[in-house]
Every structure is written in structure tokens, then in C-alpha cells.
A and B are shown apart, each in its own frame.
Chain A
Amino acid sequence: EAEVAQSPRYKITEKSQAVAFWCDPISGHATLYWYRQILGQGPELLVQFQDESVVDDSQLPKDRFSAERLKGVDSTLKIQPAELGDSAMYLCASSPPGRETQYFGPGTRLLVL
């Protein structure tokens, strides 16, 4: 069964450092999502891509976060500089064309010290 791949699975960094997360969606899935999930809360959408275009980044803190999906396949989410409050699980999801169901990757657990 095809899966969404994410790396790294865990990342520990110090505040003010830069971090980057990578996601490879299920083949053929045009829509890709990045979510942030804080412990005890549901996932919150950071950015949504349709192919290589950003559809929604209204909740992305653009002063420190950036996301790209240059060739419309895999994607990178970057934080620079990281802050203590960025500690969370970062989840990537994808969905097939015309479908609402989203399939999640295993996530990257970030700890900022």
C-alpha cells in the first residue's frame, strides 16, 4: 500500500536555528498539505498545495516559515529561526484528485530547546 513519506522522523534543535522537513506524497496525489499538531490538539493546516501552486497559506507564519513544492511532487517545509513554541508534530498529508480523503505521513516530531 502506497504511503506518504516524511523525514526526518525526529528533530531536536536549538532556538534560532533553521530546520527543514521533507515530504513525498503518494504517487499521483496532486494535493499536498502540511499540518502542525500540538500535543492535545487536532492538526492545524499550515499550507495546502495543488501541484506546485500554493492554494492556502493563510495560517503559515510567513516571517519564519516557508514551504515549497517546486516540481509538484515532493515538498519541503522550513522554519528559520526556530522558536520554543514551534515544538510540535509536523504532519504531511496528500489526497488524490477530486477526493477529500487525506492520507497522512508518519510526521516529524520537532523539539526546540
Chain B
Amino acid sequence: RKEVEQDPGPFNVPEGATVAFNCTYSNSASQSFFWYRQDCRKEPKLLMSVYSSGNEDGRFTAQLNRASQYISLLIRDSKLSDSATYLCVVNVRNDYKLSFGAGTTVTVRA
């Protein structure tokens, strides 16, 4: 089983729509979770950390479900500029090494 697994998508949504996707992780003891964004042929950039209580940053909401070992990302009021690959990132063994999922591709169309 992979340490971090994501639905690759793609999720094709119209502008203004809401899109949500999940990521599962293998180690129930993992403590740190992140979402990174990666544009085509660019480097990953931190989108947001995921806190136990859930957190929101503008149109983006991240949630953690420890019981089912998954994190989620929800994007409201999608913009064309939200088109990207979203990488789920977990510090699986709590040792400052991050494990990356393969990414979920989101395409927002006009």
C-alpha cells in the first residue's frame, strides 16, 4: 500500500463551481499534513497546512479525518487560475521527511 494515495482526476469543473477531493494516508500516527499546488512544469508550492480542527484560507478549506485516515481539500467558487495539480503531502513517520501523493489534477473551464 502506498503511503499517500490520491485520486488522480482530472476534475473538470466550470468557473464558480465547488470541487472537493480526498487523499488517504497509511500511518494512523502521522501528525503533519499539507496541500501543495503544482502548476504544469513548475515546482510545488505550499497551499496550506492541514490542522486537526480543519482550516480555511479564502476559498480553500482543508479537513482532516483521523478515524478514516484521510484529508480533504475543497475549493469554492473555482477560478480559472485554480487549474493545477494538487499534491497531498504527509509527514508519514513524523521525522521531517514528507511523502507526496501523485497529485489530483483540477481543470476549471470558462
Contact = CB atoms under 8 A, between A and B. Distances in A.
Interface of A: 31, 40-45, 48, 56, 91, 95, 100-107, 109
A94 B104 CA distance: 24
A100 B43 contact: no
Contacts of B97: 45, 48, 56
Nearest to B100: A42
12 contacts: A31-B96, A41-B103, A42-B87, A42-B101, A43-B44, A48-B97, A56-B97, A95-B96, A101-B34, A104-B44, A104-B45, A106-B43
Contacts of B108: none
Interface string B66-99: 0000000000000000000001000100001110
Q: Which of A48, A95, A104, A106 has most B Cβ within 10 Å?
A: A104
B96 A42 contact: no
A40 B6 CA distance: 12
Q: How large is the interface on B (under 10, 10 to 19, 20 to 34, 35 or more residues)?
A: 20 to 34
Contacts of A104: 43-45
Contact of A100 (B87, B96, B101, B103): B96
B30 to A, nearest CB: 11
B62 interface: no
Interface of B: 4, 8, 32, 34, 41-46, 49, 87, 91, 96-98, 100-103
Given A42-B4, A42-B87, A100-B91, A105 B43 contact: yes
Contacts of A100: 32, 34, 91, 96, 98
B61 to A, nearest CB: 19
Q: Which of A42, A95, A105 has most B Cβ within 10 Å?
A: A42
A63 to B, nearest CB: 23
A101 B46 contact: yes
Given A42-B87, A100-B96, A106 B44 contact: no
A91 B102 contact: no
